[in-house]
């Protein structure tokens, strides 16, 4: 009979520590704009223009081969006209979060980059579901679903480094043996940041959405996108990742064949997604 891994008590987190990651104020304002039905273009451009580095990054991305626009983009207003408000806001949020999430000790740089690639890949994949859903912005929900790992990076960097070396184990086994709960910590951090409840729900339940009786559709989509990102190799840890359950797929109008096709499609998009991940840094 195999020995079971003993579950350790959770590592204590100092929620008042100055080392905890913070949400850039402009990013928080941009997220608020995404929740509005009508966004004033002048307000959006003025907000982005407050950060010269962000403005320069958005112009660089807009003029990249990724978008292949027929005209050179020379202003944020022009970028909004050519790419649309939502695309510009999402790119701006991605750039701001990349800067913040990758600000870690040099010993954690590689792991932080893996986390960033996973977050943005999940966001890009989840975004494709937005046409038939009237929920919070799926892209931004996905960008923050694994933010709990940043808590561990700041409060227990040596533990995080050890966890990143684990192989051939489930996430539950790894977290239990190290006293880690990135879902709980992510939800608490997002609450501390003052973000709406859907962000906290997504962080708390993205691995096991059916722990709640009636999970919201946005949670099911982010959870599926999280799986697809890992299936295409853009994951933070080398864990044994189970496929979404049948009931999960049924709630999204999918079956096993559709899931297999989605995995193949995600793999075919990997190169393009990896380029976009690098562009916004």
Tens of pLDDT, residue by residue over 245-279, are 999 999 999 999 999 999 999 999 999 999 999 98
Give the pLDDT confidence score for residue 106 in this predicted structure.
Answer: 86
Burial zone of 172 (CB within 10 Å; 0-12 exposed, 13-18 middle, 19+ buried): middle
* Residue stretches of the chain with pLDDT short of 70: 1-5, 130-135
**Buried-exposed string 94-132: b where 16+ CB fall within 10 A, e elsewhere:** bbbbbbebeebeeebeebbbbbbbbbbbbbbbbbebeee
Four-CA torsion 210, 263, 226, 272, nearest 10 degrees: -160
> If we measure between CA atoms, which residue out of 116, 106, 231, 236 comes closest to residue 164?
236
Q: Which tokens go with 94?
A: 């991605």
- Using a pLDDT cut of 90, give the percent of the chain over it: 79
Q: Specify the pLDDT at position 60.
A: 95
- Cα–Cα distance, 132 to 109 (Å, whole number): 37
Going from N- to C-terminal start, the domains of the chain cover: 23-101, 106-281
Its pTM stands at 0.93
CATH dotted code for 106-281: 1.10.3210.10
Give the per-residue pLDDT at 57.
Answer: 95
Residue 135 DSSP code? S
Q: What is the pLDDT of residue 134?
A: 65
pLDDT at 58: 96
pLDDT of residue 105: 84
Closest to 47 (Cα-Cα) out of 30, 34, 31, 61: 30
């Amino acid at each position: 009979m195999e020995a079971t891994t003993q579950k350790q008590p959770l590592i204590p987190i100092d929620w008042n520590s100055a080392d905890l990651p913070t949400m850039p104020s402009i990013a928080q304002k941009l997220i608020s704009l995404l929740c509005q039905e009508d966004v004033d273009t002048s307000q959006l451009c003025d907000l982005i223009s407050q950060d010269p580095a962000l403005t320069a990054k958005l112009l660089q991305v807009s003029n990249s081969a990724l978008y292949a626009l027929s005209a050179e983009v020379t202003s944020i207003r022009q970028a909004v006209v050519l790419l649309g408000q939502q695309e510009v806001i999402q790119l701006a949020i991605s750039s701001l979060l990349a800067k913040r999430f990758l600000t870690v000790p040099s010993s954690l740089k590689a792991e932080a980059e893996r986390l960033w690639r996973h977050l943005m890949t999940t966001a890009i994949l989840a975004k494709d579901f937005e046409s038939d859903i009237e929920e919070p912005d799926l892209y931004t929900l996905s960008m923050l679903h694994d933010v709990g790992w940043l808590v561990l990076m700041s409060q227990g960097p040596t533990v995080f480094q050890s966890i990143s070396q684990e192989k051939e184990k489930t996430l539950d086994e790894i977290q239990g043996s190290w006293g880690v709960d990135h879902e709980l910590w992510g939800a608490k951090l997002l609450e501390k940041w003052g973000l709406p409840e859907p962000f906290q729900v997504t962080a708390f339940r993205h691995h096991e959405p059916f722990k709640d009786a009636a999970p919201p559709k946005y949670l099911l989509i982010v959870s599926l996108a999280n799986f697809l990102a890992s299936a295409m190799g853009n994951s933070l840890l080398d864990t044994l990742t189970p496929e979404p359950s049948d009931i999960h797929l049924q709630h999204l109008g999918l079956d096993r064949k559709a899931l297999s096709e989605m995995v193949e499609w995600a793999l075919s998009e990997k190169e393009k997604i990896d380029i976009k991940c690098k562009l916004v840094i």
